[in-house]
Amino acid sequence: MPSPSHPLRKLGFLTIGLFDGDDPRAGHESTLEIIELGERLGFDSAWLRHRHLQYGISSPVAVLAAASQRTRRIELGTAVIPLGWENPLRLAEDLATVDILSGGRLNPGLSVGPPMHFDQVKDALYPDTADAEDFGYERVQRLLDLVRGKPATDFSGVEGFEVFSDRVQPHSPGLGRRLWYGGGSLRSAQWAGEHGMNFLTSSVVKAEGLEEGGASGGSGDSGGSPDFASIQLSHVRAFRERHPDGERARVSQGLVVIPTDSASPGQRARYEEYAAKRLPRTASPQGPARMMFAPDLVGTSAEIAERLYAHVAFQEIDEVAFALPFTFEHEDYVQILTDIATRLGPALGWQPSATG
């Protein structure tokens, strides 16, 4: 097996937290149990996706507040909070509160853009201001400023029996360094770097900046098309070129990996069927935005490690948050996470965090 240029330093996982609309508590409890399992297995981080008006976690900050009281070490992240649904000042208060409760373990991942299906939801979300809302980078800049301690008002002091602050309270000094931008475009990578954020890159990128089929180093077997890995690499490099920390700037990669080392024959068959159904979308850029998808990596940990070593973007990062498939059962996630922690992670040079 090939050797990586440097060992994987941080190993995390990402889950969507699906639930039954008639019994939502069970799904939320399953997610909390998975996070607890991740800590026992030595994972460095657990991340939650964000879904609105769907049967997936709509309030990851609230769920992570609960997780912070059931864990003591594992870092807790969101990947990602779409800021088009949020008031930056109120979100800054919630994030700081959970960070304080967790002992400084929160890693909020963010993105910008109009809410999904905005025309259908705008009357409920912004009944009076829909046409005036700014869904661009300025929205995340507001959140950055507020989390990092910039005044939110010109008033502070004592009024009667109450004491007022001019900045968001509670203030968590380290949180501003743990904000991540989830981006799939070159401009997003550059913007995140310019503003001193960390960068989340996933299994989806925008086909841009490279001639189709002409980039070197990106294997279709590990990257979704001949260009996926090279495009993702260009984003990683563009981010670091603009970041004050340069090559030390943090990047986390989030591909879907499904190791089968300890899977039952039935599980293996379902995993392979799941990946096969999603494979056609990886053949070429999809939709007007020309988004490219990486294939799900299914196989033994040794096979997956070999494919990752061949991925030119993976070669330049030392943090991952592997994405769990959306629709699997709780016991499937237990098997996958156990194989990632005990077999795939070590094959990538990773060492589990102390669990005692």
pLDDT in tens, 294-334: 999 999 999 999 999 999 999 999 999 999 999 999 999 99
- What is the 8-class DSSP label of residue 161? T
φ and ψ at residue 289, rounded to 5 degrees: -80, -5
State the residue for tokens 């594992």. 74
In the predicted model, what is the mean pLDDT of the chain? Answer: 93
What distance in Å separates the CA atoms of residue 174 and residue 169, rounded to the nearest whole number? Answer: 14
Both tokens assigned to 156 = 């502070």
pLDDT score recorded for residue 353:
79
Domain extents for the chain? Answer: 10-152+168-347
- Closest C-alpha to 34, from 62, 7, 8, 14: 14
Q: How far apart are the first and last CA of the chain?
A: 32
What distance in Å separates the CA atoms of residue 206 and residue 203, rounded to the nearest whole number? Answer: 10
What distance in Å separates the CA atoms of residue 197 and residue 183, rounded to the nearest whole number? Answer: 11
Cα-based angle 83, 89, 95 (whole degrees, multiple of 5)? 75
pLDDT score recorded for residue 81:
98
The pLDDT tens digits of the residues spanning 159-207 come to 999 999 999 999 999 999 999 999 999 999 999 999 999 999 999 999 9
What distance in Å separates the CA atoms of residue 304 and residue 228, rounded to the nearest whole number? Answer: 17
- Closest C-alpha to 47, from 65, 35, 56, 29: 35
Query: Which amino acid appears at position 303 of this protein?
Result: E
Instruction: List Cα–Cα distances, 160 to 152, 163, 164, in angstroms.
Output: 21, 8, 10
Beta-strand pair 157-159/251-254? unpaired
- Closest C-alpha to 216, from 317, 307, 312, 314: 312
| 3-state class (DSSP) for residue 105 | coil
- Closest C-alpha to 179, from 244, 235, 107, 243: 107
With helix as H, strand as E and coil as C, how does 193-251 read? HHCCCEEEEECEEECCCCCCCCCCCCCHHHHCCCCHHHHHHHHHHHHHHHCCCHHHCCE
Both tokens assigned to 310 = 């061949």
What mean pLDDT do residues 84-110 have?
98
What distance in Å separates the CA atoms of residue 149 and residue 280, rounded to the nearest whole number? Answer: 46
The verdict on domain 10-152+168-347 having CATH code 3.30.420.40 is: no
The pLDDT tens digits of the residues spanning 216-235 come to 444 444 444 458 999 999 99
pLDDT score recorded for residue 10:
98
What mean pLDDT do residues 36-44 have?
98
What distance in Å separates the CA atoms of residue 183 and residue 206, rounded to the nearest whole number? Answer: 9
- What is the 8-class DSSP label of residue 341? I
Buried b (16+ CB within 10 A) or exposed e, 58-96: bebbebbbbbbeebeebbbbbbbbbbbbbebeebbbbbb
φ and ψ at residue 57, rounded to 5 degrees: -55, 120
Please give the model's pTM, rounded to 2 decimal places: 0.94
Confidence of residue 208 (pLDDT cuts 50, 70, 90): confident
What distance in Å separates the CA atoms of residue 347 and residue 1, rounded to the nearest whole number? Answer: 9
Beta-strand pair 157-159/162-164? antiparallel
